[in-house]
């Protein structure tokens, strides 16, 4: 969202999107260094209740960001069911503005500033925009 704000200020045609895959049955967490067994235990409990989706379904949010005709800079797409864990993608932030109330931390000015500062510190790219 901070990148969207910066690009908009500069009048850039570049678009900045965000997407949340929800809970997808991949080995991303289980193969992470120092992940322990907590994630595997959580997935084992959540899967029978329908709180986990396939890897392909987890990719849908990024597909909508990249190719959706209604996707615009400053949009956040996330799964629409089970509290944002599964289901078809929905737009929860549109053009940097809340659509879904529980995503307020995503558009918080404090959080956007923090993320942008850390990206500049770690990657050095945002300062060149």
pLDDT at residue 19 in the model: 92
Cα–Cα nearest to 53, from 20, 75, 102: 20
φ, ψ of residue 78 to 5 degrees: the values are -150, 165
The pLDDT tens digits for 56-100 are 998 999 999 999 999 999 999 999 988 888 899 999 999 999 998
Q: Where are the domains of the chain?
A: 2-128
- The whole-chain average pLDDT of the chain stands at 83
pLDDT score of 117 more than 60: yes
pLDDT at residue 34 in the model: 58
Q: Average of pLDDT values for 42-65?
A: 76
């Amino acid at each position: 969202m901070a990148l969207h704000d910066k690009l908009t200020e500069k009048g850039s045609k570049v678009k900045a999107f965000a997407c949340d895959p929800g809970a997808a049955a991949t080995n991303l967490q289980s193969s992470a260094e120092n992940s322990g067994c907590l994630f595997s235990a959580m997935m084992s409990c959540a899967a029978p209740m329908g709180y986990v989706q396939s890897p392909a379904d987890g990719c849908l949010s990024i597909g909508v960001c990249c190719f959706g005709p209604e996707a615009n800079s400053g949009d956040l797409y996330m799964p629409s069911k089970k509290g944002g864990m599964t289901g078809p993608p929905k737009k929860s932030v549109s053009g940097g503005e809340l659509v879904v109330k529980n995503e307020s931390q995503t558009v918080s000015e404090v959080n956007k500033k923090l993320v942008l500062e850390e990206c500049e510190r770690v990657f050095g790219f945002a300062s060149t925009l």
